[in-house]
């Protein structure tokens, strides 16, 4: 039996991951709520009961870019602080983004969060897996938030005209493919970084 915790369990990635993992009776889920980040006692109870923590919680978009950076970094630091207080060493899996290379606020916040978790794992001889993920699309994606695919689909079904604001080639991955890769990673292999496109590249 593997005890799994998912931060951001109510989000797009989190709901799909939870629904798929819950089909396996060998998985035990440790409940998580967003307000745990602001409650050290509840956060510590969550962390010390997990064999695996999939850290998905974060902010994708906001009218205030500084808020994206601040929230994403603070959530990661809150997780690390709890790991240190409880001296817990679960396998941490973190989803970053190919936007790391674009040098925007969101990409920078994800990159720094990934590096902070990697540094923690190296200092504590724990297993960490960083995933660099392209644009994810699929059922229940929120228009104007999760993916331009969701946005365009919403606009087309509502007789609106989609607008291309930046004309770039975009790498895509279907949500079920991403979830399958995360499930394959929930095992005690010491991989540090995964680049997810149509294939997964393992870097020891």
Reply yes or no on whether the pLDDT at 126 is more than 70: yes
Q: What is the pLDDT of residues 95-108, one digit of tens each?
A: 999 889 887 999 99
In a domain, 148, yes or no: no
178: closest CA among 111, 130, 116, 133? 133
Q: In terms of DSSP bridges, do strands 200-203 and 193-196 run parallel, antiparallel, or are they unpaired?
A: antiparallel
| pLDDT classification of 154: cutoffs 50, 70, 90 | low
The number of folded domains in the chain is 1
pTM of the model: 0.82
Q: What is the pLDDT of residues 40-67, one digit of tens each?
A: 999 999 999 999 999 999 998 777 888 9
Residue 183 contacts residue 20 (beta carbons within 8 Å): yes
Domain, as residue range, for 18 = 2-140+171-203
In a domain, 106, yes or no: yes
In a domain, 149, yes or no: no
> For residue 56, what is the domain's CATH number?
3.40.50.720
């Amino acid at each position: 039996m593997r005890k799994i915790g998912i931060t951001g369990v109510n989000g797009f990635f989190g709901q799909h991951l939870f629904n798929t993992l819950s089909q396996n009776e060998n998985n035990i889920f440790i409940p998580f709520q967003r307000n745990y980040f602001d409650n050290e006692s509840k956060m510590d109870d969550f962390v010390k009961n997990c064999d695996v923590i999939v850290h998905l919680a974060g902010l994708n978009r906001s009218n205030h870019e500084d808020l994206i950076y601040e929230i994403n970094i603070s959530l990661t630091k809150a997780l690390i602080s709890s790991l240190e207080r409880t001296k817990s060493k679960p396998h941490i899996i973190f989803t970053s983004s190919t936007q790391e290379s674009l040098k925007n606020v969101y990409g920078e916040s994800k990159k720094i969060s990934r590096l902070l978790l990697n540094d923690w794992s190296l200092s504590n001889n724990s297993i960490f897996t960083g995933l660099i993920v392209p644009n994810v699309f699929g059922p229940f994606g929120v228009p104007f938030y999760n993916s331009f695919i969701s946005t365009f689909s919403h606009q087309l079904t509502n007789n609106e005209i989609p607008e291309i604001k930046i004309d770039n080639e975009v790498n895509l991955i279907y949500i079920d493919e991403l979830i399958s890769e995360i499930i394959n990673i929930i095992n005690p292999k010491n991989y540090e970084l995964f680049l997810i496109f149509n294939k997964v590249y393992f870097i020891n």
